[in-house]
């Protein structure tokens, strides 16, 4: 898998709770290439948390910052990059990813995503009356865009190593 990647990055896309960071770390270690998480990098450069950024600047500005950060992270491959759930939904960010990387959609069902996201209170988009319904709406709206990824792996409710080995395979 490392040879097949060449200089390209492996970019993990999918909804919040799909396991992009957890699985990305395992995959990167197995392939012997660096791992980077776009949300962590955004927080590092802005010195603000994702909820603070949404609160202070709103989603459109967050998307611009996300696009710039991801554009820069994509420059020096190969890497495994996990992206925030909305990154691949943004046309410009998606085009940048598709230009020099292999994209992989970690596709999980609603209940699996929900079980994972409720463990942490760090998703500004889910601050709604009915967050599970919001998550489902995002799932439906984003489905056709995630489907543009080069590869798709089901992120089932099994050990992350199992999913990581499916990604590598
Ligand atoms: C978002 C997902 C989050 C984060 C932000 C917006 C989204 O990342 O970038 O809260 O639009 O789906 P995770 O997918 O890592 O939770």
- What pLDDT sits at residue 146? 98
Please identify, by atom number, the ligand 1 atom nearest to the C-alpha of residue 82: 15
Q: Give the C-alpha separation, 68 to 121, whole Å.
A: 26
User: Residue holding tokens 């409710």?
Assistant: 157
Q: Give the C-alpha separation, 107 to 68, whole Å.
A: 25
Boundaries of every domain in the chain: 2-163
Distance (angstroms) between ligand 1 centre and the Cα of 57 equals: 15
> Which of 15, 52, 69, 84 to probe ligand 1 with, by most ligand atoms within 8 A of CB?
84
Distance (angstroms) between ligand 1 centre and the Cα of 47 equals: 17
| 14 Cβ below 6 A of ligand 1 | no
Considering only CA atoms, which of 74, 101, 80 is closest in space to residue 8?
Answer: 101
Nearest-CA residue for atom 10 of ligand 1: 123
Strand partners, 80: 10, 35
Phi (first) and psi of residue 20, to 5 degrees: -55, -45
Q: Which helix (H) or strand (E) holds 145?
A: helix 131-146
Q: Does domain 2-163 have CATH number 3.20.20.140?
A: no
User: Residue holding tokens 């996990």?
Assistant: 82
Considering only CA atoms, which of 55, 63, 51 is closest in space to residue 121?
Answer: 51
- What pLDDT sits at residue 2? 84
Does this model's pTM top 0.95? My answer is: yes
Low-confidence ranges of the chain (pLDDT < 50): none
Give the number of other Cβ atoms within 10 Å of residue 138's Cβ. 18
């Amino acid at each position: 898998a490392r040879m097949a990647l060449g200089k390209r990055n492996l970019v993990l896309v999918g909804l919040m709770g799909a396991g992009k960071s957890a699985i990305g770390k395992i995959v990167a270690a197995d392939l012997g290439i660096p791992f980077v998480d776009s949300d962590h990098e955004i927080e590092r450069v802005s010195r603000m948390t994702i909820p603070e950024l949404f609160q202070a600047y709103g989603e459109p500005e967050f998307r611009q910052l996300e696009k710039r950060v991801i554009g820069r992270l994509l420059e020096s491959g190969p890497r495994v990059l996990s992206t925030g759930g909305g990154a691949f939904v943004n046309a410009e960010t998606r085009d940048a990813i598709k230009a020099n990387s292999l994209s992989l959609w970690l596709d999980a069902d609603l209940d699996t995503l929900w079980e994972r996201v409720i463990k942490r209170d760090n998703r500004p988009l889910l601050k709604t009356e009915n967050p599970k319904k919001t998550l489902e709406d995002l799932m439906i709206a984003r489905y056709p865009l995630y489907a543009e990824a080069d590869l798709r792996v089901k992120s089932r409710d099994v050990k992350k190593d199992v999913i990581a080995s499916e990604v590598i395979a």
